[in-house]
Amino acid sequence: MLASLRRQRGLLRTAVSFFLLLSLSSCTLFDPWFSPSTDTSARIPAAVASAHPLATQAGLDILAAGGNAVDAAIAVAASLGVVEPYSAGIGGGGFWLLYDAGEDRYRFIDARETAPAAAHRDYYLDADGRVNRDRAINGPSAAGIPGQPAAFAHLSEHYGQLPLTQTLAAAIQQARDGFAVDEKYRSWLGFRLETLRRYPESARIFLQQNEIPAVGHIIRQPDLADTLTALARQGHAGFYQGPVAERLLTEVRRHGGDWSAADLADYRVIERQPLQVQYGELKVISAPPPSSGGIALIQMLNMLNHYTWQQLPAVPQTHLLTEVMRRAYRDRAEFLGDPDFTKVPVSMLLAEQRAADWVKSINMDSATPSLSLSGSKTHDGGFHTTHLSVIDHQGNMVSATLSINLPFGSAFTAAGTGVLLNNEMDDFSAKPGEPNAYGLVGNEANAIAPGKRPLSSMTPTIINSPQQAAILGTPGGSRIISMVFLGALEHLQGKPVEDWVSRPRFHHQYLPDRIEHEPDTFSADEQEALQALGHQLHNVGRDYGNMQAILWNKATNRVSAAADPRGLGHAEVKPLP
């Protein structure tokens, strides 16, 4: 499909210019969500895809109860925060991309965490000017002000049809009754075991006698159930003010954090215009800053627009995809940050001229050394996150990516609340030029400032056309963007949704200058050929990512959904009633 785009560059330039004018501003328009269709002939099968079967079922139950896609997404996200405590939760934040079928309109809800007012550019530097890595990633000092509770309240109030008391009910029950430990839980817990042991409340909840629990052990979170209940009954104030907020502040300060009552009370989500780029009849809709994902994804597609890439053999195609990744990630490192604090040149980055200039530097016969492109070293966020995709019977869609950064976030749970806090402050550049928890380096555009939102790679995406609509996204830190890119290319080649989520993965992020890949992505001959082109290869030693995707074929009114086979997720299509 993209090969034909070469004939449409004039249209692309016009469309990019128009849509990017919209992307530069935030909005606070709270138009009512769609009115349910009474025309049963226009109804389509609904579907939910998420990283855990219990969360998927929670969403399906809400759809069956008359909820719309937003209601279902709230139920899924809340459940994931309970049964996937290593991935997300009300102690974290995320990005929500919504599509209103009745208005043919997209909305983007930025529920990213914010730096507390006490934070500043040198917040994590010691007396010698060195980054205190422990303080930046462990305990409440590493936590930004959570955005997830505000997202639930905002989405329910403005775009849902059911009250939070109903959409959060499944998560509340799961927190109170408990869920069974599985091997995935045990695996992620291994990354943060020693840190969880440092905080008695976290150890009490998530460990079994201070050790990794056995498969089948029940994790119960009654305090979290109470906090979710307060949020369900009182909305925003149930978390950010009153008894829950007071307990959070007491525990955060007692353990070395710097939150204030105003930090919590003043937190609000921001509605931003999503990035929208038209390629003929095809529209790509994705995340704007402070996500870097949408810009990088569209830049890569713009560069591919200059090639008939589908016809290339495996090695030249991998080489080309690597080179466009390299250049998009280079721009990510140089220019991106919170648009409310940093001027992000969105129009320049997504213009056809930028793609054309980058393409001139691509040599199909050899790899480009990243440092020859100059610019900043890259920085990115956490490697464990979660994603959900939902479509309802009216064709309304939600693509949401949620995170607490590292597995189990900061590893700190505020006693009396059940809230496991994020460590998203490490997504800032603690010191420009110094590496974060992943050995990656940031720049001034992403320096810490009070109230600022850290740069993210979360890339919830919808690809829409008169014939089909695709909803996709994934966790995976810096690899999120390349995974969504590769998944989107599968869709653009007409492959089934199962192929998007299961295709072998590789990644290049400008620096370190190497192709990272899953163990079985390349054959021995392909590895040798890529190395002959000058690429360094790094087998990461494990599968990565956990994509959740939905495809609606409008011509046949058929919906298909798939959960990444690398995870424990479940995707299910709900037939028409």
* Domains annotated on the chain, with CATH: 1-52+92-132+268-412+422-577 (3.60.20.40)
Residue 429, pLDDT score: 81
Q: Tell me the percentage of the chain whose pLDDT exceeds 90.
A: 84
Residue 12, pLDDT score: 37
In the chain, the largest separation of any two C-alpha atoms, in whole Å, equals 69
**pLDDT over 70 at 248, yes or no:** yes
How confident is the model over 497-505, as a mean pLDDT?
98
- At residue 379 the predicted structure's pLDDT band, cuts being 50, 70 and 90, is very low
**pLDDT over 90 at 556, yes or no:** yes
457 is in an annotated binding site: yes
Active-site annotation holds for 385: yes
**pLDDT over 60 at 535, yes or no:** yes
**pLDDT over 90 at 158, yes or no:** yes
How confident is the model over 378-403, as a mean pLDDT?
85
363 is in an annotated binding site: no
In angstroms, the CA 446 to CA 431 distance is 10
In angstroms, the CA 457 to CA 379 distance is 10
Over the stretch 280-334, which tens digit does the pLDDT of each residue have? Answer: 999 999 999 999 999 999 999 999 999 999 999 999 999 999 999 999 999 998 8
427 is in an annotated binding site: yes
Spot the catalytic one: 385, 413, 417, 459. 385
How confident is the model over 542-557, as a mean pLDDT?
96
CA 58, 63, 69 angle in degrees (round to 5)? 95
Q: Tell me the percentage of the chain whose pLDDT exceeds 70.
A: 89
What is the reported pTM?
0.91
Over the stretch 73-114, which tens digit does the pLDDT of each residue have? Answer: 999 999 999 999 999 999 999 999 999 999 999 999 999 999
Over the stretch 469-494, which tens digit does the pLDDT of each residue have? Answer: 999 999 999 999 999 999 999 999 99
Residue 42, pLDDT score: 73
Query: What is the C-alpha radius of gyration for the chain, rounded to an integer number of angstroms?
Result: 22
In angstroms, the CA 94 to CA 386 distance is 9
How confident is the model over 507-522, as a mean pLDDT?
96
How confident is the model over 191-199, as a mean pLDDT?
96
How confident is the model over 389-401, as a mean pLDDT?
98
CB 80 within 8 A of CB 402: yes
78 phi/psi in degrees, rounded to 5 = -65, -40
Tokens representing 554?
Answer: 């409008």
- At residue 5 the predicted structure's pLDDT band, cuts being 50, 70 and 90, is very low
CB 297 within 8 A of CB 481: yes
Q: Which of 311-315, 380-384, 552-556 has the lowest mean pLDDT?
A: 380-384
CB 112 within 8 A of CB 382: no
Over the stretch 41-80, which tens digit does the pLDDT of each residue have? Answer: 579 999 999 999 999 999 999 999 999 999 999 999 999 9
SS3 515: strand
Residue 13, pLDDT score: 36
Q: Which of 21-25, 397-401, 503-507 has the lowest mean pLDDT?
A: 21-25
Tokens representing 332?
Answer: 């990510």
How confident is the model over 418-433, as a mean pLDDT?
87
**pLDDT over 70 at 383, yes or no:** no
* Helical segments of 98-215, H only: 133-137, 148-159, 164-167, 169-177, 183-198, 200-206
How confident is the model over 506-526, as a mean pLDDT?
96
Residue 438, pLDDT score: 41
Residue 577, pLDDT score: 78
405 is in an annotated binding site: yes
How confident is the model over 160-182, as a mean pLDDT?
98
112 is in an annotated binding site: yes
366 is in an annotated binding site: no
**pLDDT over 80 at 563, yes or no:** yes
